[in-house]
Each structure stands twice: as C-alpha cells, then as structure tokens.
Structure 1
Amino acid sequence: MRLALRIAAAALSAASVLASAQELKSKVVPVKVTDRVWFVQGQPGMASAANEGYNSNAGFVVTDEGVVVIDALGSPALGEALLAAIRKVTPKPVKRVIVTHYHADHFYGLAPFRKAGADIWAHVGAREYFTSGDAERRRIQRARDLFPWVTDTTPLLEADRWLEGDARFVLGGKPFEIQHFGPAHSPEDLVIVVPDEGVVFSGDILFTGRIPYVGEADSKSWLARIDRLIALKPRLMVTGHGEVSKDPSKDLVLTRDYLLFLRQAMGKAVEDFVPFEEAYKRTDWSRYSALPAFEAANRVNAYGTYLLMEKESLAR
C-alpha cells in the first residue's frame, strides 16, 4: 500500500509540473443536495481547453466515520480541487471513491484521492479498458485537447477493488447500495443509491440539459436501464452531467427520447440501405440542435448508432 501511494504521488507530481504553473479558472464549488449529500457541477458541453476539462459532475456523502466520493472529475488538478471542496464541508477523511465508469472525465482526478489514502472501487468491466490500448489512446487525445491539465504522464489509476456485481456497505451508520447497470453508457456503469437520503447517483446513464455522449454504447440496453432507474423512484438524482434532477422520471425522458430518435433515424437508414453520410444529412436534428454538446457529440453518436443498427440487423 505504501509503495502504491508513493507511485501515485510521484505520478501526480510529474503530471502536475506544467499545470502547476497555472491556476484553474474553474471554480469547483460544493453544492448541498441534502444534509449529508453534496455535489459539484461541471460546465455544459464537451471537455475543452476553455473549460479546463471541467464538464462532468462528482458527488460526496458525509458520514460519521468519513466521506464516500462518487467520481473524481477529469484531471489531477480538478481532483485536487474536488478534494479541497470536500474539506471545506468536513474535516473527515475520504474513505472511499466509487467510479461510476472509466471515462476520462470521471476518473482522471483519482490520483489526489489515492494519495490521501482513499480506496477506489469500480466495476470489473472496466479492466479491459487498461489492456485494450484504449486507455493510452484516450490519454494522448486528452493531452492534446486539455494541455496542460492532462499530459502524457497523467496517471491512469485502476481500482483497488473490482466489483463483479452489486454490492452493499455501511459507513458511519449510513447504508450504501451499488448496483451494476451496464452495459448502458458503458459496460461498467455503476449506480449508487443512498436510500436514507432518497438520492441516487446515476453516472452518465442520465444527462440533464444536454446531449448525452453515446459513442459506441449499447443504446438498446441503455434504454432498458433507464426504465430500471425510473423504477427506483428516487427523490433526487445526481447525474454525471448537468443539474441535480428533482424530478428524475421527467428528466430521464430527454435522454430516453434522444436515444430512441437516434435508433429510429439510423435504423431506418440501415433498413433502406442509405449510406451514413446521406442519412445524417437527411435527418432533421432541429429538436436537439440547440442543446449543449450537440455540435461536438451528435455526429459521433449518430455514426455509432448507425453501426450498432447494422450489427443488430445482421443478427436478426
């Protein structure tokens, strides 16, 4: 454990050399959700140099024994800012960080938490990410787009505990339920339920007020998981992007309708043997074109869905 902490500290130091010459302009401000639950809200749209990669949310729950953090933001500097925000709320130590899924904007900020002694939990479905070459390719892309906040030495940290399914634990008398919801936005999606607070952390299964990033996700399975989320009937839902949902069933409709629209439009194109470029130009996107992240994400989403619909068509 001590060796792991020293390695994490050294990696964090190396990754922060250039970023330390500048200060984050983004303010990572803790917002109270309930008496024990807080979150920080990223900026709208996709990660960019302009927003310093701060486009995702993270949350934390304060118990009598320590803090449970959900996601760690998108760079070591943002992770440090999140840790500082937590310390403004409570002096209690961070005991655990649960990663909802291993996308860069949710786990690149892990190093400061490991340095502080927190255990990292995630679903075992993410392990393949580290052996497939995707992790390094993504880091190169992020270093290009988010320099100096992400560099080619930004540490990509695996979990201390890989969960193979659902899990429950109690910390400081407060119960937590971790449910595996993947494949949806990603194969390893985790949803964290804090039942006595009436709060659910949805990760990127729900986006509020913006276009979701779909990419190569299994949208058919994602739609089924949205129905599962609705069935939980949470009072409040802390999403992976956007504001806290005070009416989760209603807010889930935007994500659900967008996924359905993608599948219907691209599915019809595949059925009619219309090439993707032509299908994309023909489709009326006006219902979604004014939403944040549309310009950056929609074409990628449509292409990924087109390929998925081809695959589903061949399987029939």
Structure 2
Amino acid sequence: MAKAKLLWVLICVCWFWGAHADEAPLKAVQLADRVWFVQGQAALGSVANRNFISNAGFVVTDDGVVVVDALGSPALAKELLAEIRRITPQPVRYVIATHYHADHIYGLQAFKDAGATVLAHTEAREYLNSDTAQKRLEASRVELFPWIDDKTRLVPADRWLEEKETRLRVGSFDFVIGHVGPAHTVEDVVVYVPQLGVLFSGDLFFRGRIPYVGQADSRLWIASLNRMMQYQPKLVIPGHGPSSSEPMADMTMTRDYLLYLRKTMGEAARNLEPFEDAYARADWSAFEKMPLFRVANHMNAYNTYLLMEQQTEP
C-alpha cells in the first residue's frame, strides 16, 4: 500500500513538472530610465506556458505607474503587479490596452481589482460584446485551464478613447495614445512617451518573429507602420518579441514582410493562380528562419491571397 501511494505521488510530481516545464519566469527588465517590460515566449498559448506569449511594459512616474497591456491570464497579471511593487511603491494608475486580443487582455481583471483605470479605443467594444469574444473565452477556459477558468472575465475599458490622438499626463510624462487602426485590429493604439523616446507598439510590430496577420488588411497595417515611424522613437517595446533599440530597421522588417506577402499573393490572385501553387513557388528564404514561420506564414499568406482577390492594387 505504501509503495503504491509513493508511486502515485511520483507520477503526480512528474506530471506537474512536465505540464509546467515550459513556464517562463516573469521578470521585469529595465530598458531605460523609468521604463520596464516583461517578455513573453515566441510560441502559441498553452497550459505549459500559462499563455505567457505576449509582452507588457510600464513606466514609473512620480505620480503612479502606467502599464501597457495586461498579459494573457489573471495569474500572469498578478505576477506583473508583484514585480511592479518590487520596483516601486507607486500605485498603478492606468492600464492601456493596445487591442483586445486574448493574450493581451485576460489579465485586465487583476489590474482592475487593484484599482487601475483601464483605457482602450472605442472600436474594441464591438469585439468585446460579440459572440466571438465570448466563445474564445469559453474555449480558453478549456484549453488553458487552470490559468483561464470560470472566474476569468472580459473587462471593458473604464474610458473608451474616441479621438485619433489622446494625451494623458501622469507625473511629468506625457503618454500620447495614437489610434493607428484598423490594422492588426480595428482598435489598434500605440503609446508614445516623448520625454523618454519610447514607443509601445502593440501587435503592429513583431520584432524577431513572424507576425500574425489574421484577417487584418495588410495595406492599412503598412500605412500604420509608416505613421509609427513618424514618431522616430529611440526604443520600441513590441507586443511580442524583444525590445528594439534600432526601431526604424526593425519596423521596416515587419513592413517588408507584409509588402512581400502582398506582392507574391497579389500576383497570384490577379493571375488566377491556385494558392498552393503560388505558395510553393514563392521564395520565403528571407523569413523562413524566424520564429513561428512554420506556424503562421502559410495562414498569413492564405489570408493575404483572399484579401488580394478583393483588392486591385498591391
């Protein structure tokens, strides 16, 4: 009986270790004066990585902390709050959601419970109130349990932004919240802090990995990247991947990838070439070594092919 019980304990320990083997520690890294961020894994969300696949950043002012994006689960957001408290006694005043994708917003409730004010663009309300958002949450409660469970809820903004540009003053810093969507999503915003030269780009800029295009209109996305470049930031914190101290070159890479998708898939669509033939013929060598290429590129190309069937200009 004792041996059987010991065996069962060993099995449970091995299962737990295996199930959580991919967990990445959530550790805030200082990038510049007052500026910190945590970096998620370059992977799809899973139980093993706790849906820690996106980034979040924050700025410590003399009148509180401003956080950009809230991570992919309440547990992760609580860890981020603990990191912030380790760094500063200042309270979190605001959380700005760059867009309402699950890996960026499931942590909002932890910040809301801690007294923060949530800001997001008003275009996100359509998705937030849709069956799609609810069904995604229900699926996540199964696929990402226990990190996403019945207590996880969708959190609306306390302040819905409607202007093309909103300026938020906290302490001695300005936070310029620019609506640059529709691009990756219709509600995309970026956050620029001119006194620090730092730009939080959300998912408009994926450094060091293939972006997820989804149903986005890549022509509008490219236009949004061009607008982001006008800020001429010294440092960019993207929605995924490492931060960039050479943001103009890195943003150009994302733009070039989208342009290449439009060029190759646009030619195929205009010539009525079957998608799979066009995909096999395309030269992906400039991008194929990047993380998530095999996971995302085929889908990105197919969605671009469908889009280009509807658009006459590349």
State the TM-score, normalized to the length of structure 1: 0.88
Residue of 159, 162, 186 corresponding to 2:160: 162
1:95-244 to 2 correspondence within 5 Å? 95-151=93-149, 153-165=151-163, 166-244=165-243
Q: Structure 1 CA distance, aligned partners of 2:42 and 2:23?
A: 15
In structure 2, do the counterparts of structure 1 residues 208 and 111 end up closer, same or farther at CA, with 3 Å as the change threshold? same
SS in structure 2 at match of 1:142? helix
Match of 1:296 in 2: 295
Q: Structure 2: which amino acid aligns with 1:70?
A: V
Conserved 8 A contact 1:207-1:242:
yes
Q: What SS does the corresponding residue of 1:291 show, helix, strand or coil?
A: coil
Q: Provide closer, same or farther for how the CA distance between residues 159 and 217 of structure 1 changes in structure 2, counting only shifts above 3 A.
A: same
Name the counterpart of 1:245.
Answer: 244
1:30 corresponds to which residue? 28
**Equivalence map 1:254-293=2 (5 Å):** 254-293=253-292
Deviation at 1:33, TM superposition (A): 1.5
Aligned to 1:59: 57
Mapped partners of 1:140, 1:281: distance in 2: 36
Partner SS for 2:297: helix
For residues 86 and 235 of structure 2, what CA distance do their matches in structure 1 show? 23
CA distance in 2, matches of 1:176, 1:24: 35
Aligned positions, number: 294
Structure 2-normalised TM-score? Answer: 0.89
State the AA in 1 paired with 2:271.
D
In structure 1, list runs of 5 or more residues that go unmatched: 1-21
Provide the rounded CA distance (Å) in 1 between the counterparts of 2:144 and 2:310.
34
Q: Is the 8 A contact 2:22 2:49 kept in 1?
A: no
* Alpha-carbon separation, structure 2, partners of 1:251 and 1:228: 15
CA displacement at 1:48 relative to structure 2: 2.7
CA contact (8 A) 2:207 2:244 kept: yes
Which stretch shifts more, 138-147 or 118-127? 138-147
Q: CA deviation at 1:288?
A: 1.6
Alpha-carbon separation, structure 2, partners of 1:299 and 1:26: 27
Larger radius of gyration, structure 1 or 2? 2
Kindly indicate whether the alpha-carbon contact (under 8 Å) linking 1:32 and 1:38 is maintained by their aligned counterparts in 2.
Answer: yes
Aligned equivalents of 1:286, 1:39: Cα separation in 2: 31
Worse-matched range after superposition: 179-188 or 148-157: 148-157
Instruction: Give the whole-Å Cα distance in 1 for the aligned partners of 2:192 and 2:295.
Output: 31
Q: Retained in 2: the 8 A contact 1:139–1:152?
A: no
The question of whether the paired residues in 2 share the 8 Å contact of 1:45 and 1:210 is answered with no
Counterpart contact for 1:63–1:174, Cα < 8 Å: yes
Separation in structure 1 between the aligned mates of residue 205 and residue 77 of structure 2, nearest angstrom: 22
Quote the offset at 1:126 in angstroms: 0.6
Deviation at 1:144, TM superposition (A): 4.0
Structure 2 residue runs without a partner (length 5+):
1-19
Q: 3-state SS of the aligned residue for 2:32? A: coil
Q: CA deviation at 1:23?
A: 11
Which structure is higher in RCO with an 8 Å CA cutoff and minimum separation 6?
Answer: 1
In the TM superposition, residue 180 of structure 1 has moved relative to its aligned partner by 0.6
Aligned-pair CA distance for 1:195:
0.8
Identity of aligned residues (%): 53
Distance in 1 (alpha carbons) for counterparts of 2:45 and 2:255 = 23
Name the amino acid aligned to 1:251.
Answer: D
Q: CA deviation at 1:266?
A: 1.0
Q: Aligned equivalents of 1:193 and 1:74: distance in 2?
A: 23
Q: CA deviation at 1:205?
A: 0.9
